[in-house]
Amino acid sequence: MPPLPPLSHPHTPRLIVYHQTHHTPSGEHVPLLPLISTPLTHLILAAIHLNAHPTTPTLTLNDHPPSHPRNTTLFAELRLLQSSGIKVLGMLGGAAKGSFAVLDSAPAQFETYYSLLHRLISAAALDGLDLDVEEPMSLPGILRLIDRLRSDFGPSFVITLAPVATALLSRDPRYNLSGFDYAALETVRGREIAWYNAQFYCGWGDASTPAGYMAVTGAGWDARRVVLGVVTNARNGAGFVGLWALAETVVGIGEVVGRGWGGVMGWEYFNALPGGDEGRPWEWVEVLGGLLGSSREGVSNEGELEGTVEIKKREKERIVIVVVDGDGDGEVESVPAEFEYFSDMSDS
């Protein structure tokens, strides 16, 4: 297959959320439609699993088939998000191992499991696929998967990966959950990969200051291709960074690398602080969108804050964002203190 041109980068940083917990602890659907009026650029639907079986292999979205009635509203809302300009990707893999083991196998087995994945991508009309490889996989295995996705779904299909941040800093396998070398992957297939959702949490990176991200770019990675991955709530993983510190990190990165860097992704959406405990997780998206100046193509960005952004800390972890215009006047937005939220274990 002849080489394809590199996928274009947006003019503003991406703003991405993963969406794995689709229902509240009481079983209510987590609504996605409020995201339409935010600066969100991409939503990554998690988690797709390929489940090994000697005679009847299956694909599930978390613990259920994608066609399960519990997912009906979810997929309907995803289509509406897409119609608003938000790109919807699927996430394959994650902490639950097995999906990449069956794909990193003999050709016949690869075809069996890949066909399940192909069917879901087509049926759900996904805009792309995020490969979250948290189990050993060979470089030839990931190359085969990337090449097949590109061949089957064309040049506009978005292919991303989600390495831990240390995997972009070191070629030592002890600092990499995926098995293959990301520097080698970038060398041979970088033009097919839109960006990397780097995980700066759970001990694999630090988002509390710009230093961790700048270390990755200092190691030679293009800032436009590296997204700063954070957890949106302390319940979602170790290494949670409150909005005050994260705001300083985001502004600090922008001051060094400019406006067009990779952006921020949050794991995950349903309980994102500050509003998740009161059923308003989109507030995290609005705040980050204002800091990043994120926008999606062809859509007016109502969440963008124009002007010079100044951030001031307040007591009890409240945050005030002040947008100063050319006349020195400011508009103030108060963001509530952090809350707690219990994850839906059936979707973990």
**CATH of residue 79:** 3.20.20.80
Residue 314 in any domain: the answer is: no
**Closest to 237 in 3D by CA, of 271, 275, 284:** 271
Residue-wise pLDDT tens digits, 74-121: 999 999 999 999 999 999 999 999 999 999 999 999 999 999 999 999
Collect all residues with Cβ–Cβ distance below 8 Å to 258 and sequence separation of at least 6.
223
Q: What is the pLDDT of residue 344?
A: 41
Give mean pLDDT, residues 60-71.
96
Rg (CA), the chain: 20
Per-residue model confidence as pLDDT tens digits over 167-223: 999 999 999 999 999 999 999 999 999 999 999 999 999 999 999 999 999 999 999
User: Is residue 340 pLDDT above 50, yes or no?
Assistant: no
For residue 86, give the nearest of 267, 242, 237, 303 by alpha carbon. 303
Look at the block and give the residue holding tokens 């060979």.
138
Which comes out higher in pLDDT, residue 138 or 277? 138
pTM of the model: 0.85
What is the reported pLDDT for 11?
Answer: 66
Mean pLDDT within 259-277? 95
Average pLDDT on 233-242 reads 96
Mean pLDDT over all residues of the chain?
86
322 within a domain of the structure (yes/no): no
Alpha carbon distance 141, 150 (integer Å): 14
Question: pLDDT digit string (tens) for 297-317?
Answer: 655 444 333 333 343 433 333
The whole-number pLDDT of residue 307 equals: 34
Q: Is the pLDDT of residue 10 over 60?
A: no
- Considering the domain boundaries, does residue 104 fall inside one? yes
Tell me if 3 is assigned to some domain: no
Give pLDDT, residue 2.
35
- pLDDT value, residue 299: 52
More confident residue, 278 or 114: 114
Instruction: Report the percentage of the chain scoring pLDDT > 70.
Output: 82
Looking at residue 237, what is its pLDDT? 95
Q: Report pLDDT for 34.
A: 97
Domain count for the chain: 1
Going by pLDDT thresholds of 50, 70 and 90, the confidence category of residue 341 is very low
Whether the ω angle into residue 274 lies within 30 degrees of 0, i.e. cis, is: yes
User: What band does 26 get if pLDDT is binned at 50, 70 and 90?
Assistant: confident
Domain-embedded: residue 316:
no
Provide the residue type at 20 as one letter.
Answer: Q
Looking at residue 295, what is its pLDDT?
86
Asked if 272 contacts 339 with a C-beta cutoff of 8 angstroms, the reply is: no
- Mean pLDDT of all residues in 128-137: 98
Strand residues in 94-173 grouped as ranges (E): 128-132, 158-161
Question: Given phi > 0 = left and psi -120 to 50 = alpha, else beta, which region is 8?
Answer: beta
Whether residue 125 is contained in a domain is answered as: yes
Do the bridges between strand 226-231 and strand 263-267 make them parallel or antiparallel, or are there none, so unpaired? parallel
Q: Of the given ranges (5-9, 194-198, 222-226), which has the lowest mean pLDDT?
A: 5-9
**Domain ranges, residue 38:** 14-306
Q: What percent of the chain has pLDDT over 90?
A: 78
Q: Is residue 92 part of a domain?
A: yes
